[in-house]
């Protein structure tokens, strides 16, 4: 493994833990105001898996398995990630007025869906 791959793996582990913690905290409560532990852990798990999928797509798009990517590839992937972030921002704005947890879930789903579209388009283009 190259140094860049090792650094990305470490960054992936840290980011996944942070997002899983955020998912645990965002789990919606029952009408009594209590969040069942099973639901909280489910939200944490789904958040972590989505984050690992997003990082895996970026890893694949950059072609890190083949070594250091070219500047053109990094730029194209950066633009794709920004497009996915814009889709997430639109989803966040559209979900105004809904419960906080559901709003963030829609935002995260839109980002991951955007990353899937970017991955498919880049794989077709290359």
pTM of the full structure:
0.86
pLDDT at 82: 96
Listed residue (39, 49, 43) closest to 16, CA to CA? 49
How much is the mean pLDDT over the chain?
A: 91
Please say whether the beta carbons of 46 and 19 come within 8 A.
no
Q: For position 106, what pLDDT does the model report? A: 93
Cβ proximity of 104 and 26 under 8 Å: yes
85, pLDDT greater than 90: yes
Report the alpha-carbon distance of residue 113 to residue 117 in Å, rounded. Answer: 6
Each residue of 4-56: pLDDT tens digit?
A: 778 888 999 999 999 999 999 988 888 888 999 999 999 999 999 999 999 99
């Amino acid at each position: 493994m190259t140094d860049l791959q090792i650094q990305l793996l470490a960054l992936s582990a840290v980011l996944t833990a942070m997002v899983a913690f955020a998912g645990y905290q965002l789990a919606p409560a029952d009408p009594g105001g209590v969040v069942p532990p099973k639901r909280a852990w489910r939200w944490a798990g789904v958040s972590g898996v989505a984050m690992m999928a997003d990082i895996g797509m970026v890893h694949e798009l950059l072609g890190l398995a083949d070594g250091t990517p070219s500047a053109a590839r990094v730029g194209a992937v950066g633009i794709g990630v920004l497009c996915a972030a814009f889709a997430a921002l639109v989803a966040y704005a559209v979900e105004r007025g809904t419960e906080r947890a559901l709003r963030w879930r829609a935002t995260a789903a839109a980002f991951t869906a955007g990353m899937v579209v970017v991955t498919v388009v880049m794989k077709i283009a290359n």
